[in-house]
Structure 1
Amino acid sequence: MPYTEVEGRRLALSNLDKVLYPATGFTKGEALHYYVTVAEALLPHLRGRPVSFLRYPDGVDATAFFAKNVPPGTPAWVTVHEITQVSSTPLRQVLIHDLATLVWAANLAALELHTPQWRVEHEARADRLVFDLDPGPGAGVLECRTVALWLRERLAADGLTVLPKTSGGKGLHLLTPIEVTGSSTAREYAKAIALEAEAALPRLALSKMAKALRPGKIFVDHSQNAAAKTTAAPYTLRAKQRPSVSTPLTWEELTAAEDPDDLVFLAPQLAARLDRDGDLMAPLLDASLIRRLPEP
């Protein structure tokens, strides 16, 4: 078994040649390389947030393992935090604060990294707001864009700066930093905005998840603001047929997109994007953009 040293930590790496994305031949070793490549941009978005892993040890076409609790055999140097307020039983979850922990997680085939909207220092109190725009059958990312632009303007009216990223699938995620508030308050605000979107765009936006209502519409998912819910982190790989990435966007490139494929970004493309643009999601961490949610 090969070993590597990362930031003074000795890590055993396994099955680096295993193909995790059969449609493209993308291997576990390439997944590790990807996460090392984007670590400088990714780690600030993970810091302080308990990470839930979606693990695919046999590839994206095989069974996945969703892991919140710290996996067996975790090295003693990995930072673990007990989460007590969002589950009926306490959870012991990993915090990824450094490159060594990120490489360790990637070696577990933790392709997808998901985090809540709060940090451990204020558990179950949100410091950001998220809308997951999820297209139903017959709709796609370009229809999500229409809803995203409406949400951008509506939230700007409340003083909130909205940042877009791809979900890594067919949808979009919109995030905005907020003053720390109870997760239930954040979710109620998001739900109210989703209802407004549905009223303003009745042929396109939907505030309910019901499958019968989904064809041709965009579900404005506000539920991920609940304390127990998580969202795919910026720059995480997604377990699709190709190694797509949840990729931060500019509003200009989102507006200019003419084809859904214009908004699909694969792991090998991210290094060039980061070299050119830096972390487009960095403003999410800018204290000057934090705003208090309006009173209901």
Structure 2
Amino acid sequence: MTPITLVEGRRLALSNLEKVLYPETGFTKGEVLHYYATVAEALLPHVRDRPLSFLRYPDGVEGERFFTKNPPPGTPAWVRTAPVPRSEDQNARQVLVTDLASLMWAANLVVEFHVHQWRADRPAVADRMVLDLDPGPPATVVECCEAALWLRDRLAADGLDAYVKTSGAKGLHLSVALEPTPSEHVSAYAKALAQEAERALPELIVHRMAKALRPGKVFVDHSQNAAAKTTAAPYTLRARPRPSVSAPVSWEEVAACREPDRLVFLADDMPARLARDGDLFAPLIGPAGARPLPAPPGSGAGGSGSRRGGTSSGRTSGGGS
């Protein structure tokens, strides 16, 4: 019989709690649900009012995986949804996770949580920028850290504060809080920044996705700033061999990383990290830390002066890694 749990006044049928979803470690669905309940206070502000996409893996990480944007069949009427702009579907909607009850309902579906860089009340107007640093073997997260330090300093030269988390897979994600800006403008800035990074560190960084260009280098994926794209949310579990987390980390941890395992965090690691450090992504919440997006690097509209400063600081941090 499927147990019924009451969460914030909502009745949830939480099923198959003993099912092993991560065979390498024996991590079960019940443990997945417990993890999300434990980190909910930190996770919810980063997904609330942001339309969600789900990567589902209901039979575990060795089973079928499928990506879905539409609300799944059987979505309760009390789970909020929001319209989203999609050229192929003018009536498209996606789920909003706004509270513990909707978080636990979604977690029971066994999902990775992926969010847009904009909020439901302002579609395609971003209040965050993201850069996804993806290492091409034999490069690892260690090389991503070197690239991240350069990008942090370059962004700082434009008055932007970057925060960093593990992707939960192989690389890193850099996030920046912005004053609301059309997604196409954010995309243009992010692409120009990735191109500049490649020019500054051509042996380390590539800005194009072509696999032939990526061995041994870090691909700075700027494309996830497009209005239609989503990125793994802070604190989401990932469908990897072990229950790894997309975990916010400090810049000190990034600078000190010399072995890939230093920046791998599992579900069981997170309560202690949160107790010690709090939410390292908290400055991204709310308008206080938001900054205006400058002109794209090299555009000649205010970006060129800071570009020279950013390249100089990047050589320092790049060489130090």
TM-score tier, shorter chain, comes to over 0.9
Q: Please name the residue that 1:99 is paired with.
A: 100
Aligned residues, how many?
A: 294
Partner of 1:127: 127
User: Structure 1 residue 288: deviation in Å?
Assistant: 2.4
Q: Counterparts of 1:277 and 1:180 in 2: how far apart (Å)?
A: 28
Q: How does 1:156-195 map to 2 (within 5 A)?
A: 156-195=156-195
Q: 1:96: how far off?
A: 0.2
Question: How far apart are 1:161 and its partner, in Å?
Answer: 0.2
Specify the code of the residue in structure 2 equivalent to 1:61. Answer: E
After superposition, give the CA deviation of every residue in 1:160-201 in whole Å (9 maximum; x if it has no partner): 000000000110000000111111110000000000000000
| 1:121 partner SS | coil
Matched, 1:249 2:225: no
What secondary structure sits across from 2:114 in the alignment?
Answer: strand
Once the two structures are TM-superposed, the CA of residue 12 in structure 1 deviates from its matched residue by: 0.5
Q: Write the deviation string for residues 4-31 of structure 1: whole angstroms up to 9, x where unpaired.
A: 1000011111100001111111111000
The amino acid that maps onto 1:193 is L
Provide TM-score, normalisation by structure 2. Answer: 0.90
Deviation at 1:286, TM superposition (A): 4.3
State the superposition RMSD in angstroms.
0.9
State how far apart, in whole Å, the 1-side matches of 2:58 and 2:285 are: 32
1:86·1:227 contact (CA, 8 Å) conserved in 2? no
Partner of 1:24: 25
Partner of 2:307: none
Aligned-partner SS, 1:118: coil
1:106-255 equivalence runs, <5 A: 106-110=107-111, 112-255=112-255
Which 5+ residue runs of structure 1 have no aligned equivalent? none
Structure 2 unaligned spans of 5+: 297-321
- The 2-side partners of 1:70 and 1:148 are apart by 35
* Partners of 1:139 and 1:151 in 2: CA distance: 17
Counterpart position of 1:2: 3
- The question of whether the paired residues in 2 share the 8 Å contact of 1:238 and 1:246 is answered with yes
Shift of 1:117: 0.5
Identical counterparts, % of pairs:
66
The higher radius of gyration belongs to 2
Q: Could you list the structure 1 runs, at least 4 aligned residues long, displaced by more than 4 angstroms after superposition.
A: none
Query: Residue 121 of structure 2: SS of its match in structure 1?
Result: helix
- TM-superposed CA distance for 1:88, in Å, is 1.8
State how far apart, in whole Å, the 1-side matches of 2:35 and 2:12 are: 17
Whole-angstrom distance in 1 between the partners of 2:93 and 2:192: 33
Partner deviation per Cα, 1:137-158 (whole Å, 9 max, x = no partner): 1100010011000000000000
Counterpart of 2:319 in structure 1 is: none
Structure 2 Cα separation of the partners of residues 106 and 47 of structure 1: 15
